[in-house]
Amino acid sequence: MSTIAPGLAGTTVTAAGTTGTRATLRLLLESYARSAPPRSIAVVGNAPLSPDEVRAATIDSADLVLRMTTFGLDAPGGPPTVGRRCDVVVLHRGITPSPFTFADYTGRLYLLFEQGRPFGERQPLRPWWPADLGVVPVSNYEFTRPLNDLLGLDSRERVWATAGTLATFLCTELFPAATTYLTGVSLIDEPDQTTFEHHWGDAVRVTPEHRLRTESALLKQWIADGRIRFLP
């Protein structure tokens, strides 16, 4: 596995080679979980949600909590909605960070999705990236391409899954025995949307590389099969 060196935008150094990539990533995620291996995982997307004490409690009681890019957290004393814990942040280089994205970053793991890298996307990490923060790129060969196969997408074309679906796939592949909860994902019920509303910040457009209808069908299949549990 490669790691972006802190302070050296776009530079990689070999940490564990290319063999055993999944095993190395699994151990790394376990080190940020409340138990190893985690028995429960919460993958929290950015879609707006109404207050729900049960949902918030389920997220915050999970052994491992992953959040996406420009995420929000419940305010102290505010209505319980999306919880307050965050162990792992999944992002890409083009995000607009929220006030929560890099808060307490020294105690979190940051995973970098780079699905566009085979198609020439090589932009450096943005200036807002903390100078002393390292990041772990997620292998396209190990995760993006197999997920594309499940979605029926051609990895030779510039198409790939959204961050929430890829994060869910990653967790269920690495920890198949864990209960994986998914929430804050609007595409399951709204596969024809052209913008993503966010729990925090402005809406963003659905970019051309995504196929939401196909993702929606796969996530519904995973819910029906018991691979994941959806928290509306």
3, pLDDT greater than 70: no
Helix or strand (DSSP H, E) at 54: helix 53-61
For tokens 């109404």, the residue is: 50
pLDDT, mean of residues 69-84: 97
**Residue 124 C-alpha from the chain's centroid:** 20
206's tokens: 């659905």
pLDDT in tens, 96-129: 999 999 999 999 999 999 999 999 887 788 888 8
Q: Please give the tally of structural domains in the chain.
A: 1
Task: Give the domain range for residue 42.
Answer: 2-231
pLDDT band at 191 (very low <50, low <70, confident <90, very high): very high
**Cis bond upstream, residue 124 (ω within 30):** no
Strand order in the sheet with 40-44: 136-137, 109-112, 88-91, 64-68, 40-44, 179-183, 229-231
DSSP letter string, 150-166 = HHT--TTSS----HHHH
What does the alpha-carbon distance between residue 188 and residue 12 come to, in Å, rounded to a whole number?
35
- Give tens-digit pLDDT for 47-76: 999 999 999 999 999 999 999 999 999 999
Within 10 A of 38 (CB to CB), how many other CB atoms are there? 24
CATH code for the domain in which residue 56 is found = 3.90.1480
Instruction: Record the pTM.
Output: 0.90
Q: Which two tokens stand for residue 28?
A: 């790394």
